[in-house]
């Protein structure tokens, strides 16, 4: 049995997912693609022997499609995800689930009404081997109850179009989900401090930023976001518990000793850093679709991250601590 997948949006990330589903993941087949650029859709469809369907909603409704991957631009996500729920079809939606928390909530409610999980959101870090090992250590109680988490998210550089709020919406959003998932709790308060900015930036950009989150049960998290750090792409995370700490490893590289130095390389790019996580994410999604039981990041996760992200943007603008107010968590997403 093969899951027949329809993909809406054939840009960079869409193409990547099509490549994975066509080539590297067993039990899946891309049968239909859709894109606002219909010529591009035709082209991609032709390459893989799929059908190009002009509109995303039509693709979702098509009987040949068992499950949907949404990789179109953010503002279209909510509509497609809701349509998929309407059709009772599984849908994998790249982050963000929707561009407003309100739309995320509509999706949560639609799914709850449907009665079982159909939606998975593309928070791929949950599939990274290092983060998973960290979660196993925490869940096994090896470091005792977590109290603090220190996170760092650095990019070598960002394009000119990147603005200060994107440090939250595009960058910190990964940690907003990872923190909740690692700790098994919700973020309750958020705050942003802005140190002196790097000279290697655009005038409009506040970079780096130091974010602070507090969970419902009092864990404090600090997160450095520094998107023009020059030296490379660097993701760090340490969880401090009552009995010990656990820390992500640096990506492995050969060690060269030469000219008075011992050196290893630093990655330059998130695609290299998380390529395995992306692969595993889609593979496990297909497996869970086969099993008829989703276990990846849910619509609720998408919603909670959206609310935290909005609060953090307001915190950045105001300099104040901002409360993260979530609706009550439906039973569907408990446990």
* Closer residue to a copy of itself, CB minimum distance, 86 or 279: 279
* Closer residue to a copy of itself, CB minimum distance, 81 or 151: 151
* Closer residue to a copy of itself, CB minimum distance, 224 or 301: 224
Closest distance to a copy of itself from the beta carbon of 223 (Å): 10
Please report the sign of the dihedral spanned by the C-alpha atoms of residue 62, residue 64, residue 68, residue 74: negative
Contact between 20 and 282 under an 8 Å Cβ cutoff? The reply is yes
* Closer residue to a copy of itself, CB minimum distance, 43 or 147: 147
Closest distance to a copy of itself from the beta carbon of 42 (Å): 20
Contacts for 7 with CB less than 8 Å, ≥ 6 apart: 14, 17, 18, 21, 30, 32, 33, 34, 68, 69, 71
* Closer residue to a copy of itself, CB minimum distance, 79 or 214: 214
Closest distance to a copy of itself from the beta carbon of 85 (Å): 29
| Of 110, 43, 41, 116, residue with least CA distance to 82 | 110
Give the DSSP per-residue string, 91-144: EEEPSPS-SSHHHHHHHHHHHHHHTS--EEE--GGGG-HHHHHHHHHHHTTTT-
Contacts for 260 with CB less than 8 Å, ≥ 6 apart: none
* Closer residue to a copy of itself, CB minimum distance, 184 or 265: 265
| Of 194, 189, 192, 167, residue with least CA distance to 179 | 189
Closest distance to a copy of itself from the beta carbon of 326 (Å): 20
Contacts for 123 with CB less than 8 Å, ≥ 6 apart: 95, 174, 177, 178, 181, 296, 297, 301, 305
Closest distance to a copy of itself from the beta carbon of 283 (Å): 8
* Closer residue to a copy of itself, CB minimum distance, 58 or 214: 214
Closest distance to a copy of itself from the beta carbon of 334 (Å): 22
Contact between 18 and 30 under an 8 Å Cβ cutoff? The reply is yes
Burial of 165 (0-12, 13-18, 19+ CB in 10 A): middle
Closest distance to a copy of itself from the beta carbon of 67 (Å): 17
Closest distance to a copy of itself from the beta carbon of 131 (Å): 9
> Which 3 state secondary structure label does DSSP give 151?
strand
* Closer residue to a copy of itself, CB minimum distance, 44 or 82: 44
Quote the CA–CA distance of 101 and 72 in Å, as a whole number.
Answer: 18
> Which residue's entry shows tokens 């506040």?
206
């Amino acid at each position: 049995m093969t899951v027949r997948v329809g993909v809406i949006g054939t840009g960079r990330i869409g193409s990547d997912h099509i490549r994975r589903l066509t080539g590297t993941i067993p039990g899946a087949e891309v049968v239909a693609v859709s894109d606002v650029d219909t010529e591009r859709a035709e082209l991609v469809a032709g390459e893989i022997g799929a059908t190009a369907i002009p509109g995303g909603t039509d693709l979702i409704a098509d009987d040949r499609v068992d499950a949907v991957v949404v990789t179109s631009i953010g503002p279209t996500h909510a509509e497609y995800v809701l349509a998929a729920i309407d059709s009772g079809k599984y849908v994998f939606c790249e982050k963000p689930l929707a561009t407003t928390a309100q739309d995320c909530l509509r999706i949560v409610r639609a799914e709850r009404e449907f009665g079982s999980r159909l939606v998975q959101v593309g928070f791929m870090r949950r599939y990274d081997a290092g983060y998973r090992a960290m979660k196993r250590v925490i869940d096994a109680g090896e470091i005792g109850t977590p109290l603090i988490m220190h996170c760092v998210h650095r990019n070598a550089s960002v394009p000119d179009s990147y603005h200060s709020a994107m440090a939250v919406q595009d960058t910190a959003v990964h940690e907003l989900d990872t923190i909740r998932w690692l700790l098994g709790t919700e973020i309750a308060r958020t705050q942003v401090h802005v140190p002196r900015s790097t000279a290697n930036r655009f005038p409009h950009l506040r970079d780096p930023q130091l974010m602070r989150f507090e969970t419902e049960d009092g864990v404090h998290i600090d997160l450095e976001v520094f998107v023009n750090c020059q030296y490379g792409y660097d993701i760090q995370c340490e969880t401090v518990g009552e009995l010990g700490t656990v820390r992500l490893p640096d990506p492995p590289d050969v060690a060269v000793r030469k000219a008075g130095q011992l050196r290893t390389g630093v990655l330059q790019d998130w695609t290299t850093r998380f390529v395995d996580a992306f692969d595993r994410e889609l593979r496990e999604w297909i497996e869970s679709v086969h099993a008829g039981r989703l276990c990846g990041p849910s619509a609720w996760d998408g919603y909670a991250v959206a609310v935290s992200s909005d609060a953090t943007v307001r915190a950045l603008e105001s300099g104040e601590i901002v409360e993260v107010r979530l609706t009550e968590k439906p039973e569907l997403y408990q446990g």
